[in-house]
Amino acid sequence: MAALSLSSDPISASVQLEEGFEASILDNMVKISKLAQGTVVKVIGIDRATLSRHKKTHSKWHGATATKVYNGARVLDAALDLFNQDPQKAEQWLNTPAVALGGISPSDYAKNPLGQEAVLDLIGRIKHGVMN
């Protein structure tokens, strides 16, 4: 997340959320993570029409959408960390149905803030060998 200038400190992150994120942050996520744009957009939970509109108007992401962007970045960062920064392995995992998520892929499950938290929790459990 540091590569995107996103803070992991809750106080600083809260300030960033209030200020909003430039529309270009999604392009930066794709560039830095080396994940497909479709996967990045799916994890963040933003439809393509909204993405296109923001790109055309260069408007900032605010409110609930800024929260989705921030949490989505956390999910992508955690998935890449889980696979030692290997974007191909992370992307494959993100797009493969997971038993722990009821047979839904992590990228589909992460479409809203609660789903994003569930995916982060799953990644944490995998990293620590807790599989219940």
What is the percentage of the chain residues whose pLDDT exceeds 70?
Answer: 95
Is pLDDT of 3 > 60? no
pLDDT at 14: 87
pLDDT at 50: 84
Distance CA 103, CA 100 (A): 7
Q: How many alpha carbons fall within 13 Å on the CB side of residue 20?
A: 11
pLDDT at 35: 94
pLDDT at 127: 93
Specify the length of the chain in residues.
Answer: 132
Q: Which residue has the tokens 């933003």?
A: 46
C-alpha distances out from residue 89 to 11, 70, 80, 94, 96, Å: 32, 22, 8, 9, 11
Is pLDDT of 2 > 70? no
60-101 pLDDT, tens digit per residue, is 888 888 999 999 999 999 999 999 999 999 999 999 999 999
What is the percentage of the chain residues whose pLDDT exceeds 90?
Answer: 55
Mean pLDDT, residues 110-126? 94
Mean pLDDT, residues 5-13? 81
- Residue 105: domain span: 8-127
Q: Give the number of domains in the chain.
A: 1
Residue 3 lies in a domain: no
Tokens of 99: 């038993």
Return mean pLDDT, the chain.
89
Residue 25 lies in a domain: yes
Is pLDDT of 106 > 60? yes
Residue 75 lies in a domain: yes
Residue 1 lies in a domain: no
Residue 108 lies in a domain: yes
Residue 42 lies in a domain: yes
Residue 30 lies in a domain: yes
Residue 2 lies in a domain: no
Mean pLDDT, residues 44-49? 86
